[in-house]
Amino acid sequence: MSDANRNQVRRIVIGRELILDLFDPQTRVVNGLPEDATFVKWYNRPECDTFEIMIQSETFTPVEQGETVPEYDLVFEDMPRIGTESGMR
């Protein structure tokens, strides 16, 4: 990552209880990552019971040094299970 785009980052915050949902075949990501998104780093925040994943994309507006990196919200949707009406698990 060049210095020019090093500050074009966002963070994805995922609660510990939801991390396994990412790998459930019944979960669909409604809004995905930008096509050019690259992984920067991840870290565990036990005080918040979350994991944070930092990503970079040319589509993100730069974040000034000292400012909080904005969250990038992934939206998930449960796919209906065969034989159910609501798709609830």
User: What are 11-66's pLDDT values in tens digits?
Assistant: 989 888 777 777 777 777 767 789 899 999 999 999 999 999 999 999 999 999 89
Q: According to the model, what pLDDT value does residue 83 have?
A: 54
* Verdict on whether the full-model pTM lies above 0.75: no
In whole angstroms, give the CA distance from residue 64 to residue 6.
11
- In this prediction, residue 74 has a pLDDT band, given cuts at 50, 70 and 90, of confident
If 0-12 CB within 10 Å is exposed, 13-18 middle and 19+ buried, where does residue 10 land?
Answer: buried
In the numeric block, the tokens 């074009």 are attached to: 8
CA-wise closest residue to 12 among 74, 83, 79, 88: 74
Higher pLDDT: 4 or 17? It is 17
Dihedral of CA atoms 79, 35, 74, 39 in degrees, nearest 10, equals 120
Query: How many Å separate Cα 6 from the centre of its chain?
Result: 18
